[in-house]
Amino acid sequence: MLAKNQIDTCLTTPILTADSSIWFSAYRFGWGYCAFALPAELVCEGLGAADQTPKQLVLAFELGKHRLRKAIAGKRLPGTGERITLSIDDLGLCAPPEQSCA
């Protein structure tokens, strides 16, 4: 788990993949880099992108960095280096209407 003080956590420039997911890394002195993925649907639902166009996805990522830092701070990081796909729960949001919200 990362320290709850996420101010020193830096996020790399987002990379848009062929399936419209966003890949990025987070890094901080003392623990190094960790790779993350954000599905396009999550960027729309959780970070407020109006649609799945590259411009909207990157804008939502940039405007949602504080929320992403907070979500990353609560994750247990694998020691094997695999990419972590963030979920709606990681962002502290309710599941879609057909599912219950804890």
Q: 36 phi and psi, to 5 degrees? A: -135, 155
String of DSSP letters for 62-94? HHTHHHHHHHHHTSPPPTT-PPEEP-TTTTT-P
Superfamily of domain 6-85: Shew3726-like (3.30.160.140)
Residue ranges covered by each domain of the chain: 6-85
In tens, the pLDDT along 81-99 reads: 789 999 999 988 765 544 4
In tens, the pLDDT along 40-96 reads: 999 999 999 999 999 999 999 999 999 999 988 877 777 777 899 999 999 887 655
* Residue 40, SS3 per DSSP: helix
Give Cβ neighbours of residue 24 (< 8 Å, ≥ 6 apart): 11, 12, 13, 14, 15, 35, 36, 38, 61
Total residues found in the chain within this entry: 102
